[in-house]
Structures are given as C-alpha cells and as structure tokens.
Amino acid sequence: MEAVGADVRGLRPGDTVFGWTATGSPAEYVSAPATHFVPKPKRLTMEQAATLVTSGLTALQALRDVAKVQPGQTVLITGASGGVGSYAVQIAKGMGAEVTGVCSTRNVAIVRALGADHVIDYSEVDFSRSGRRYDVILDNVEAQPLAAARRALAPTGTLIPNSGKGGRWFGPLGRILAAHVQSRFTHQALRPFLSVEKHDDLRVLAALVEAGTLTPVVDRTYPLERAADALAYVGEGYARGKVVVTVDATVPGGRA
C-alpha cells in the first residue's frame, strides 16, 4: 500500500493488502475505499493473494450462503481445477462435505491434491449418468442442460449454475429464468446467483488461508505489458486455477 487517506484507520503505507477495486483493470497503481482491502495473509505471496477475491468470494458465497453446505453432505463441483472450482473444492472440504470434482484427464491429480474425495474425468464418465446423486452441485461449466445436471441431484438437493453461459438469444439470463421456472415444479432447488464483494468475507478467506484450509492455485503469471496474452489464455478455458498479471517489483506498493 503506497498511500492512505487522512481518515483511514487500521491501514498504513507499506502494508501488504488484498482486495478489489471498482474497475478491476490491471495497472501499476489503483485506488479504492479502504473497506475494499484487508491485510494479506502472511503465508501467501502477492501473486497468490491477488487471485483470492473474485473466485474465492464466489466459491465461499455459493457454498456457504446459497447451498448452506453441512458436514457430511455430498458436493459435486464441475470445473474443479478452474478458478472458482479450485477454491470450491477446498472450501467444501473445510465445511466437512464429501467432495467430488469433475475435470479433464490432465487435471485429475491436481483436483485430488486439492482434497477432493472423488474425481471424475469427464472424458470417461458423464456425471449426470453415473447413477450417483449429490446434495449440492456447483456447476462452473454448464456443459449440459439443466435437466441433465438435475439427474445427478438429490431429490431435495441444490444446483447452482455458475458459468454465466446460456442460450443463443438470452445468454445467461435464459438459463437463470429456466432455473427459476423449473424450481416451481420440483423439490430440488435451482439457485443461480451473483457473488458480492464483502469486506467481512475477505477476512473469512484470509482466515481460511492462515488456517491452512485454503491455498490458491496459480497456473501462470504474465507481466503487465502482456495482459492481453493473459486474457487470451484465460479465454481458452483451460487454465488451472488462476492466471496473474504482475507488476514490476521496482514499482512501489506491490507486485500483482
């Protein structure tokens, strides 16, 4: 942190913090309200901490606030090696759930290392036709229609579609509307949602990191001048965990 306003309390120049800004654009310097930041966990690098906010908050709020995961419940997470998925596997395990991750062949070992009890290679097994049902499905890929995903959902389970994909004409709105309509005719809960930046939840994520429950997965780092390459790589859809844009360490205030 390079500078703080006169009325800011609890943060000082030189502090290492993580949080969010209004624009989210890569830059050497950014400014935002002090309530958007909390101290960086000591066990993380700046690069790791930079990945926590958007994906970490999404995973936390989906599992804790929307699905209300309880110890002993079965949770299936698609896209388990991706940004949200890699956090969700760890958070669900920390909640005491039995976790199944769905990913590609090359990411099976990574998802197991994150703590998943079971890993499904989607190139070999269609989870919606495996015969097993889950209390919670966090679907970060949405490669199948809602009806197909519901086949793997327990009769009173919760399905959270989270990739933002949708139909040709209405995009994600169409899928959200479909989920709400279908919820009226079933005991299954279909709950699309939007995560919200919350100062208190940043502290929750930091506490999970310090407790050893949560560790960011960083696939690649790119210097700021290659930010376009970083976005292109993420757009390919095969990133493991998160991709980080770094700032020259000689720039005062931070590196990621």
Query: What confidence tens digit (pLDDT) does each residue in 185-226 have?
Result: 566 888 888 888 999 999 999 999 999 999 999 999 999 999
Average pLDDT over residues 36-49: 93
User: 91 pLDDT exceeds 50?
Assistant: yes
Q: Which of 17-26, 172-181, 227-236 has the highest mean pLDDT?
A: 227-236
Residue pair 146/128 in contact (Cβ under 8 Å)? The answer is no
∠ Cα 227 231 232 (to 5°): 115
Q: Please, which residues have CB within 8 angstroms of residue 220's CB and are 6 or more apart in sequence?
A: 230, 233, 239, 243, 244
pLDDT of residue 170: 36
- Name the H helices within 28-77: 46-50, 53-61
Measured in residues, the chain has a length of 256
How far is Cα 53 from Cα 57, in angstroms, rounded to an integer? 6
238: pLDDT confidence band, cut at 50, 70 and 90? confident
Average pLDDT over residues 19-40: 85
Strand 98-103 to strand 74-78: parallel, antiparallel, or no bridges (unpaired)?
parallel
Question: How far, in Å, are 18, 39, 60 from residue 23 at the CA level?
Answer: 15, 21, 22
Strand 37-39 to strand 74-78: parallel, antiparallel, or no bridges (unpaired)?
unpaired
pLDDT of residue 172: 47
Average pLDDT over residues 109-123: 97
169: pLDDT confidence band, cut at 50, 70 and 90? very low
**Full-model pTM:** 0.86
pLDDT in tens, 45-77: 999 999 999 999 999 999 999 999 999 999 999
pLDDT of residue 200: 95
**What are the E-state strand segments in 118-231?**
118-121, 134-139, 153-161, 189-190, 218-223
Question: What homologous superfamily does CATH list for 62-190?
Answer: NAD(P)-binding Rossmann-like Domain (3.40.50.720)
pLDDT of residue 11: 87
Q: What percent of the chain has pLDDT over 90?
A: 64
pLDDT of residue 123: 94
Instruction: List the one residue out of 184, 186, 185, 166 whose CA is nearest residue 176.
Output: 166
Rg (CA), the chain: 19
Instruction: List the one residue out of 16, 56, 61, 6 whose CA is nearest residue 213.
Output: 56
Domain layout of the chain by residue ranges: 17-53+197-246, 62-190
pLDDT in tens, 177-189: 555 555 555 668 8
Q: What is the DSSP letter of 185?
A: T
User: 38 pLDDT exceeds 80?
Assistant: yes
Amino acid at 40: K
8: pLDDT confidence band, cut at 50, 70 and 90? confident
pLDDT of residue 180: 54
Question: What homologous superfamily does CATH list for 17-53+197-246?
Answer: Medium-chain alcohol dehydrogenases, catalytic domain (3.90.180.10)
Residue with tokens 């209405």: 170
